Amino acid sequence: MVTRCSNNYGLRQFPEKMLPLFVTNLIDGKRVPLYGDGLHVREWLHVDDHCEAIMLVLERGRPGEIYNIGGDTELTNIELTHRLLKLCGQDDSMIEYGTDRLGHDRRYSVDWSKIKNELGYEPRVDFDGGLEGTVQWYHDHEEWWRPLKDHLG
């Protein structure tokens, strides 16, 4: 069996990824690098929901099948950025727009109706609550992410 998922977020995500990069930059008073016009759409999946979906597939999935796992929350990158700015007490002046990456997908989202219909999967983590908890975790666990981020340069 194979699983494919949308963009994950949650605790202990390596700080090179968008969400932890933005949060840790904001904690440090640094601007956040937003590619292009910020209108790229991503579907967000909390890591806890991802793990539960994988367990469902392991326990009840059909051999040889592929299951997409989604989080049921699609946002443009600028929408996500605004939510992070608000949670970190910052404003739009902290956004640094940059040149879009070559080949950057305009939309990345999965059709997860199969895992919903066949296995009863539904994401349980409310996005706003999950995002707030994730931001708080990075505020509370600088000792975890700072060495990793410092290593990135």
> pLDDT tens-digit profile of 93-135?
999 999 887 777 889 899 999 999 999 999 999 999 999 999 9
Q: Does a structural domain hold residue 40?
A: yes
Which structural domain, as residue segments, surrounds residue 76? 2-148
* Pairwise CA distance, residues 139 & 34, whole Å: 21
Q: Does a structural domain hold residue 130?
A: yes
Q: Does a structural domain hold residue 153?
A: no
Q: Give the chain's domain count.
A: 1
Where does the pLDDT of residue 3 fall: very low under 50, low under 70, confident under 90, or very high at 90 and above?
very high
Q: Does a structural domain hold residue 85?
A: yes
The answer on pLDDT for 153 being more than 80 is no
Q: pTM score, two decimals?
A: 0.93
Give percent of the chain above pLDDT 70: 99
3-state DSSP assignment of residue 147: helix
The predicted model gives 79-86 an average pLDDT of: 98
Q: Does a structural domain hold residue 48?
A: yes
DSSP element (H, E) containing 92? none
* Pairwise CA distance, residues 20 & 135, whole Å: 8
- Check which CATH number belongs to the domain holding 21 and give it: 3.40.50.720
Q: Does a structural domain hold residue 73?
A: yes
Q: Does a structural domain hold residue 134?
A: yes
Q: What angle do CA 92, 98, 102 make, to 5 degrees?
A: 140
Give residue 110's pLDDT.
Answer: 96
Which residue in this structure is represented by tokens 């700080």? 15
Give residue 58's pLDDT.
Answer: 98
